[in-house]
Chains A and B, each alone.
Chain A
Amino acid sequence: MFEIDFGNEGEVIVAGRLDAAQAERAQRFLDQMPTPRVLDMRRLEYISSAGLGVLLKTQKRLMASGGGLKLINVNHHISEVLRYSGFDKLFEVVAAEDRRPGH
C-alpha cells in the first residue's frame, strides 16, 4: 500500500511503502508539481532504492531551478537508507521527533 497526496500547507504527504512497484506512481505525481518543497514522511514506513530513484530524479529537476526537497519526519529505517546511500548529503533531512537527526 502506498499513498501520495498534498497536505494542508502545500507539502507532499507520502504514506505506506514506496517500493519498486509503486515508484512509477510516485514519480508521476511529483513530476506534475512545479516546485515541491517539503516531503512529509511521517507515515512512510519503507523505502527501497526504487523510491530513492524517484527522490533523486525530482531533486535533480528542482535543483536545476534553484529549489530542493526537504524530507521531514523520517523514521529509523528510512534515515538508515538515506545515510547508507549518501542521500543525507543531497537532501535536507529532518528525522521524526523521537529520533535524533540521522547524522
Chain B
Amino acid sequence: MGLMQNQPDLPSEALVRILDVTRKLAAPFDLIGMLTEVVEAGKSMLGTERGRLWLYEPKSHELVLSVPMIDPQVRVSADAGLMGKSLSTRQILNIPDCYANPYFNRAVDQLMDYRTRCMLILPLIGYDDSPVGVMQLLNKNAGVFDAGDELIAAVLAAQCAVAMQRAQMTEALLIKERLDKEVSVAREIQLSTLPTTMPHVEGYDTFGMVRPTAQTGGDTFDLVMLGNHLFMLLGDATGHGFGPALSATQLQAMLRVAFRLGADLDEAFTQVNNQLAEDLPDDRFVTAFMGFLDAETHRVSYHAGGQAPILHFHAVRSESELLGPTGMPMGVFELEAAAGGKSIDLAPGDILGLISDGVYEYANLQGEHFGEAGVAEIIRLHHDLPMSALADRLLREAVKFAGDAPQHDDITIVLVRRLPGTSAMQNYFGRSFGALDDIFAFTRHFFEHAAVPSSIRGAIDLSVEELFINIVKYNSVSVGDILITLKVINNCIEVSLTDFDAERFDSTATPEADIHAPLDKRSPGGLGLHLVRRMVDSLDYEYSNRQSTITFRKIMGKPHV
C-alpha cells in the first residue's frame, strides 16, 4: 500500500472501525451477502449517500454491477471510463464534480434516476494482484472526499478485495462440491449393483467385498450362480471420477446380460471387450478377471484381461501361486475372438483370490507397497478362517501396514475356497528314508484330527511306510516329491501315494515273501508288501497321465483277527 507513505496517519477511530469490518468480513459469506456488507461498510465509514459495487468478470473482461443488483444486468467494459482508469492504474480516484469530468459515464445515473455529485472510486485488487472489482462511494454527506477519506478507503478496499476473493473461491469450491456429489451418486450406483449376499455353493466358501475410496476408482466384482456354475468377476476401470465408475458398472451389467442370453465365457469376453473398445476413450481401459467355477469338477475356467496377479493358494503345500493375465486389458482394441482362456483346478482347501491393486499397492508413508508377499503371507497364515474373516484380516493387515497413509484406491477382495473334505489331508514328501519322521508326524496329525482308532494306526503307518519305501527304493527314475493323501470315507481310511511324472511302477505286483519257509530260507525281501496285504482291506494301483498312484483302504472298527 504505497499510498500510505505520503499520507497522514490513519485516525485511530477509523482503524478500529476497519478492524471491525474486517472481522465481520471474515465470517463465511455467500458472495452477494459479502458484497452488500462491503458497500455498507464503505458507506458508513466515509459517510456517503450511496455506494455501488462492480464485480470484475475475467471471462468477458467486464465489470458487472452487483450492488445494487439490477435486472437486466448492467455491464461496462473493464477498460472504460473512470473505473477502467482506476482499475488499470490500481489507484483510488477522487472526483469532486462528476458532471464536469469528461470520462464520467452518466448512463448509470440515468438508469437509476440519480445524480452523482462527487465520487470516490476504489479499485479492488486481490492478494495475487488480479482485479476483483470496483467500489464507488457516491455523494459524501458533507462536501467532497478529502485525503483522509482516501486513506481510509484504501485500507478498506484492500480488506474488502481479499475478503471478496475468498468468497469467490468458496463459491467455486461449492460448485465443485456439487460436482463431487454427482460423482458420488455415480459411485453409489456402481456400488449398489454389487452382490450383497454371497451365493451358496456346495463344498465352497465364497466372499466378495469392495471398500471404496471417497470418489476415485472403478472397481467392481460379481459372485453369482449362473446356471449351475459360479460366476466370478473382478473388474478395475482405469482413471478417476464418473468414467471409471460407469465403466465398471457397465462391465458387470453387460456380462450378466451376455450370460443370461446364453453366451459362453469366450464369446462374452470378446463381445464385452469390443463394446468397451467402442465406448471408451483411447486412454481408458478395464482390467478384468472373469471365470466360471464348476463345483463338481472343481475347475475354474477364466479370462484375465490385464488383471494380475490371480492368486491360487495351494492348501497341500500351504503356498500361494500368483498367476499372470491371460491377455490384454479389455477395451484396448477389438478382438476377432477371445484366445488364451485358462483354467485352474482347485484341490481341497485351495483358495482362488481375486484381489484388486488397491490391496497389493496399499502403500505406507515411505511409499512401500503391502505387496504380493504381504498378501500371500496373510493367506498362508489364515487360510482356514471363513473367507469373510480372511478378507477382513487382509484388509486390516494392509491398513496396519500403511500406518497413517490414506487409502488411495478402491479395494476389492473376492475369495473362493474349496472346503477341505470333512477329513482329508495331503502333503508332499521328499523321496528319502529321512522323510519318514515327517510322514509319521503327518499321519499322527491326521489320526488325531479324524479320530482314527489307535488300534489301526500302526497298520496304516506300516502300510504307508512300506509303500513309500518301495517307491523310494525301486522307482529311482523319478525325482519329484511323493504326494500322500489321507481321507476318511464313511467308515474307511483311504490312503493314496502319488508319484508324479513317473514311469509305471506297480509295487503291488512284486512277488510276496514265503512266510512259511524255515529261518535259513527267509529273507526280508517282499515282506513289506506281504504285511500291507494282510493289514489293509483293499489295495489298488493306477497309472495315467504319468501319475503313478497306489491306494489302500482300511476299515475302521473292524474286529481284529
- A48-66 contact mask (Cβ, 8 Å, vs B): 1 or 0: 1110110011011001000
Cα distance A85–B515 when bound, in Å?
A: 6
Q: Which segment, of B200-208, B320-328, B453-461, faces chain A?
A: B453-461
Contacts A80-B458, A80-B459 hold; do A56 and B524 have CB atoms under 8 A apart? yes
The answer to whether B465 and A20 touch across the interface, beta carbons within 8 angstroms, is yes
The answer to whether A60 and B520 touch across the interface, beta carbons within 8 angstroms, is yes
Question: Is B534 an interface residue when CB atoms closer than 8 A count as contact?
Answer: yes
Across-interface contacts of B527 in A (CB, < 8 A): 49, 52-53, 85
Cα distance A85–B531 when bound, in Å?
A: 7
The answer to whether B437 and A48 touch across the interface, beta carbons within 8 angstroms, is no
Across-interface contacts of B455 in A (CB, < 8 A): 76
Across-interface contacts of A52 in B (CB, < 8 A): 524, 527
Q: Which of A48, A53, A81, A90 contacts B519 (CB 8 A)?
A: A90
Question: Is B530 an interface residue when CB atoms closer than 8 A count as contact?
Answer: yes
Across-interface contacts of B519 in A (CB, < 8 A): 56, 59-60, 63, 90
Across-interface contacts of A45 in B (CB, < 8 A): 458
Question: Is A17 an interface residue when CB atoms closer than 8 A count as contact?
Answer: yes
Please give the distance in Å from B156's CB to the nearest CB on chain A.
Answer: 95
Across-interface contacts of A77 in B (CB, < 8 A): 457-459, 462
- B317-356 contact mask (Cβ, 8 Å, vs A): 1 or 0: 0000000000000000000000000000000000000000
Residue picked from A19, A46, A49, A78, most chain B C-beta under 10 Å: A49
Question: Is B440 an interface residue when CB atoms closer than 8 A count as contact?
Answer: yes
The answer to whether A20 and B458 touch across the interface, beta carbons within 8 angstroms, is no
- A15-48 contact mask (Cβ, 8 Å, vs B): 1 or 0: 0010111000000000000000000000001101
Cα distance A60–B518 when bound, in Å?
A: 11
Question: Is B522 an interface residue when CB atoms closer than 8 A count as contact?
Answer: yes
Across-interface contacts of A86 in B (CB, < 8 A): 515-516, 522
Q: Smallest CB-CB separation from B527: which chain A residue?
A: A49
Question: Is B93 an interface residue when CB atoms closer than 8 A count as contact?
Answer: no
Cα distance A91–B462 when bound, in Å?
A: 21
Please give the distance in Å from B198's CB to the nearest CB on chain A.
Answer: 46
Contacts A48-B465, A49-B466 hold; do A21 and B434 have CB atoms under 8 A apart? yes
The answer to whether B458 and A49 touch across the interface, beta carbons within 8 angstroms, is no
The answer to whether B531 and A84 touch across the interface, beta carbons within 8 angstroms, is yes
Please give the distance in Å from A90's CB to the nearest CB on chain B.
Answer: 5
Cα distance A100–B430 when bound, in Å?
A: 40
Cα distance A52–B440 when bound, in Å?
A: 19
Q: Smallest CB-CB separation from B514: which chain A residue?
A: A86
Q: Smallest CB-CB separation from A68: which chain B residue?
A: B519
Question: Is B433 an interface residue when CB atoms closer than 8 A count as contact?
Answer: yes
Count A-side interface residues using an 8 Å CB cutoff: 25
Cα distance A82–B217 when bound, in Å?
A: 71
Cα distance A64–B530 when bound, in Å?
A: 27
Please give the distance in Å from A47's CB to the nearest CB on chain B.
Answer: 8
Question: Is B84 an interface residue when CB atoms closer than 8 A count as contact?
Answer: no
- B506-531 contact mask (Cβ, 8 Å, vs A): 1 or 0: 00000001011001101110011011
Across-interface contacts of B433 in A (CB, < 8 A): 20-21
Across-interface contacts of A20 in B (CB, < 8 A): 433, 436, 465, 469
The answer to whether A46 and B462 touch across the interface, beta carbons within 8 angstroms, is yes
Residue picked from A48, A50, A56, most chain B C-beta under 10 Å: A48
The answer to whether A21 and B459 touch across the interface, beta carbons within 8 angstroms, is no
Question: Is B118 an interface residue when CB atoms closer than 8 A count as contact?
Answer: no
Across-interface contacts of A78 in B (CB, < 8 A): 458
Q: Which of B462, B513, B530, B560 contacts A48 (CB 8 A)?
A: B462
8 A Cβ contacts from B417-476 to A: 433-434, 436-437, 440, 455, 457-459, 461-462, 465-466, 469
Across-interface contacts of A56 in B (CB, < 8 A): 519, 522-524
Please give the distance in Å from B173's CB to the nearest CB on chain A.
Answer: 74
Q: Smallest CB-CB separation from A17: which chain B residue?
A: B440
Q: Smallest CB-CB separation from A64: which chain B residue?
A: B520
The answer to whether A19 and B436 touch across the interface, beta carbons within 8 angstroms, is yes
Question: Is B535 an interface residue when CB atoms closer than 8 A count as contact?
Answer: yes
Across-interface contacts of A53 in B (CB, < 8 A): 524, 527
Cα distance A17–B433 when bound, in Å?
A: 13
Across-interface contacts of B437 in A (CB, < 8 A): 21
The answer to whether A84 and B534 touch across the interface, beta carbons within 8 angstroms, is yes
Cα distance A29–B222 when bound, in Å?
A: 66
Across-interface contacts of B434 in A (CB, < 8 A): 21
The answer to whether A49 and B522 touch across the interface, beta carbons within 8 angstroms, is no
8 A Cβ contacts from B502-561 to A: 513, 515-516, 519-520, 522-524, 527-528, 530-531, 534-535, 560
Cα distance A56–B521 when bound, in Å?
A: 11
Q: Can you identify 18 A-B contacts, CB atoms within 8 angstroms?
A: A17-B440, A19-B436, A48-B461, A49-B524, A50-B465, A50-B524, A53-B527, A56-B519, A56-B523, A56-B524, A59-B519, A77-B457, A77-B462, A80-B535, A81-B458, A84-B530, A85-B513, A85-B515
Residue picked from A52, A76, A85, most chain B C-beta under 10 Å: A85
Other A-B contacts than A49-B524, A63-B519, A81-B531, 13 sampled, CB-CB below 8 A, are: A19-B436, A21-B433, A48-B462, A48-B469, A49-B462, A49-B527, A52-B524, A53-B527, A76-B455, A76-B458, A77-B459, A81-B458, A85-B513
